[in-house]
């Protein structure tokens, strides 16, 4: 199935949507509500390097297309600080409307509960046009908690569990990349029963980003649409100190950028969560977030235009 957001000439267009909500940060540090503003600010430094509708990819040694309307800023979604349900509805609706308009939504969270409404918007869109959705979930954590007393059912620990319940999401075509350390045995049971694949951070370190990306792209190959759900804590705290939770043993900034560059051509929606300006160091993590988003946007479009990949 062709990309729902591809234009007749094959090129891609994106819309940035802020979701300044951290009301579901029931564990870890709150503060990700300030991330959209800081990431947008950091993106200004990248966007100003465009000349004649192209940008120089130093890594690839060539210029890539960067048309004026490649990425428009749709402003912030109507999140409601005290109302998780209203926030979920607003984010889902914004994602769905963006897809209906022919653009690829790039949502800047906010906490990781936002994985679910972004998946829901993409799933509802897939329901309209036909097809299945795979989630590539990059995270230090599994986020497969069904419910607990303190966090309820839609916290930052349940996003992937709730997404797996959506009608058009295929758990068998989805994959988690970057989990590590210790987690709940019940999450392992759920993962095995649902056929949800997991590539721990340790496997990425052992096999390398390229080999893992080959596998991931192959694994999601059967799905019609792909959501890239990127919790910044999949990156090591040394490289991303401004996160809601700090888990050692994660990706370097280089590994993370290579990962999203390779996956970019398959991305139909992206959500970046848990960047936390309250615990960040000189915007280091917001800047990395800006580069992750810009990398996806530029390289997805370049690939669609037959350049750079």
Largest alpha-carbon pair distance within the chain? 55
By beta-carbon distance, which residue lies closest to Mn ion? 141
Instruction: Find the binder of Mn ion among 111, 139, 224, 268 (CB under 5 A).
Output: 139
The two beta strands, 225-231 and 197-199, are: unpaired
CB of 231 to Mn ion, least distance (A): 4
Considering the complex, state which of residue 124 and residue 139 has its C-beta at the smaller distance from Mn ion. Answer: 139
Considering the complex, state which of residue 16 and residue 115 has its C-beta at the smaller distance from Mn ion. Answer: 115
CB of 130 to Mn ion, least distance (A): 32
Select from 29-37, 212-220, 223-231, 299-307 the region that touches Mn ion (CB under 5 A).
223-231
Where would I find the beta strands (DSSP E) of the chain?
A: 14-19, 54-57, 62-65, 71-76, 104-109, 133-138, 175-177, 197-199, 225-231, 269-273
The CA-based dihedral angle spanning residues 15, 99, 22, 26, taken in that order and rounded to the nearest 10 degrees: -150
Tokens of residue 298, six digits: 């530029």
Does 141 help bind Mn ion (rule: CB under 5 A)? yes
Considering the complex, state which of residue 140 and residue 166 has its C-beta at the smaller distance from Mn ion. Answer: 140
Give yes or no for a contact between 170 and 225, defined as CB atoms under 8 angstroms apart. Answer: no
Query: What's the Rg (C-alpha) of the chain?
Result: 17
Considering the complex, state which of residue 124 and residue 231 has its C-beta at the smaller distance from Mn ion. Answer: 231
Give yes or no for a contact between 104 and 5, defined as CB atoms under 8 angstroms apart. Answer: yes
Between CA 161 and CA 191 the distance in angstroms is: 9
Select from 44-52, 113-121, 209-217, 227-235 the region that touches Mn ion (CB under 5 A).
227-235
Considering the complex, state which of residue 233 and residue 258 has its C-beta at the smaller distance from Mn ion. Answer: 233
Between CA 9 and CA 279 the distance in angstroms is: 43
Considering the complex, state which of residue 233 and residue 280 has its C-beta at the smaller distance from Mn ion. Answer: 233
CB of 236 to Mn ion, least distance (A): 13
Q: Tokens 């019940």 label which residue?
A: 186
Between CA 226 and CA 176 the distance in angstroms is: 13
Instruction: Find the binder of Mn ion among 76, 111, 124, 233 (CB under 5 A).
Output: 233
CB of 260 to Mn ion, least distance (A): 16
3-class secondary-structure state, position 188: helix
CB of 224 to Mn ion, least distance (A): 27
Does 231 help bind Mn ion (rule: CB under 5 A)? yes
Between CA 100 and CA 44 the distance in angstroms is: 27
CB of 251 to Mn ion, least distance (A): 13
Select from 53-61, 72-80, 98-106, 141-149 the region that touches Mn ion (CB under 5 A).
141-149
Considering the complex, state which of residue 112 and residue 224 has its C-beta at the smaller distance from Mn ion. Answer: 112
| Interacting residue ranges for Mn ion, rule: CB under 5 A | 139-141, 231, 233
């Amino acid at each position: 199935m062709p990309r729902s957001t591809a234009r007749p000439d094959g090129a891609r267009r994106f819309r940035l949507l802020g979701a300044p909500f951290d009301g579901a940060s029931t564990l870890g540090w709150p503060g990700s509500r300030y991330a959209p503003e800081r990431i947008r600010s950091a993106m200004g430094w990248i966007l100003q390097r465009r000349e004649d509708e192209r940008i120089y990819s130093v890594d690839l040694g060539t210029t890539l297309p960067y048309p004026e309307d490649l990425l428009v800023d749709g402003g912030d979604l109507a999140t409601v600080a005290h109302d998780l349900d209203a926030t979920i509805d607003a984010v889902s609706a914004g994602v769905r409307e963006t897809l209906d308009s022919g653009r690829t939504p790039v949502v800047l969270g906010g906490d990781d509960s936002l994985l679910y409404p972004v998946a829901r918007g993409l799933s509802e869109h897939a329901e309209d046009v036909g097809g299945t959705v795979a989630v590539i979930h990059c995270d230090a954590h599994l986020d497969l908690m069904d419910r607990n007393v303190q966090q309820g059912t839609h916290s930052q620990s349940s996003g992937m569990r709730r997404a797996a319940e959506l009608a058009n999401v295929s758990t068998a075509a989805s994959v988690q990349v970057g989990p590590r350390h210790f987690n709940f045995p019940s999450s392992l049971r759920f993962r095995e029963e649902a056929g949800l694949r997991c590539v721990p951070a340790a496997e990425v370190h052992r096999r390398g980003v390229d080999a893992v990306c080959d596998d991931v792209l192959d694994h999601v190959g059967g799905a019609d649409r792909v959501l890239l759900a990127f919790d910044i804590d999949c990156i090591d705290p040394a490289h991303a100190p401004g996160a809601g939770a700090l888990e050692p043993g994660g990706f370097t900034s280089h590994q993370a950028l290579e990962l999203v560059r390779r996956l970019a051509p398959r991305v139909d929606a992206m959500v970046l969560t848990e960047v936390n300006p309250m615990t960040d160091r000189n915007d280091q993590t917001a800047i990395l977030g800006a580069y992750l988003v810009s990398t996806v946007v530029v390289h997805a479009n370049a690939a669609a235009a037959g350049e750079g990949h």
